[in-house]
Structure 1
């Protein structure tokens, strides 16, 4: 069955578990552009290559439905995918451990989010935010200031995880998707490591 660009974009975003805002940042474009494409209000964009690269999908599939969403069949190893990315489209980001220490390993992120202050992490457990379950690779910019609704990587109660930033109070609050969990007040002692500027889930293809 022939699909629309909107349907394919929604499918890819769901498979990668990435939000419109995160995709816009990763692709280096305005969020309203992603919104119009998702809603079917735009039939195309000159930024489709950037969007496809940010989602790690075939641009031909995204643009017109030709071929497979992924270039390879079978289970994909996301870390290997990042390591084997072409140097022209991606830049190296050092991978940090879940105890917030550099590992000496590198993965590759889209050039559209390139910054000297990016750090990469692999989430070992579900974060409480739908966009960042266990197994997600996140790229964090430690110099970017969070805005309301942004995902941030933070140190809370002795552990590191992804939270949603909520403006308010002296510095702001940290939240998760479960509304029964109360807001956590961010402290000035460096709870927030940085803003999540790119995230991508490992993917198992289903035939």
Structure 2
């Protein structure tokens, strides 16, 4: 069981959402998102998180039993992982990334609502060797990427990519808004490009870094067909 799954279980049992946990521990909402979605495999706040959720830090960190000091570690049925090794499970997140002027980031905006299962062979052809914990499915709103990604399309994203790693389409937060745009490095500026030419490009400079956080990189669009970006 992965760190993100243990955290998800502890949050579910303790009644915490991502927003309420972030507030209780004193973390940014985006940092909790990374932990729950598998984009990060640990945190310097692990002891504080464990204390808030009422679990042992050792269990949360590496799975060392028991889960709680009293030894009780019930696992809710709806969070139980499939033990079938022949399936690759992709979580569908309750979030709409904006291909437009941006979606306001609320404090509780990401929850897992369902999952899609693929055979390992299907997953390998779609996602390469990426682990299932890092691949998520989200819905796109807005038309600034129209022609490449249309309003209402679903996109598969790699949550392990939280830094710019070359030209491509990314899901990112800038200020208090969530975007899905093409990013391209030009000199020392990161250019934000909308594939729909009705929208102007804009840029993110080094002075803006404290407002900018990459959440994921887009892998595939799912509409009538798949469109590969890697």
TM-score normalized with structure 1 length: 0.45
TM-score, normalised relative to structure 2: 0.42
Q: Rg larger in 1 or in 2? A: 2
More contact order relative to length (CA 8 Å, sep ≥ 6): 1
- Report the structure, 1 or 2, having the larger strand content: 2
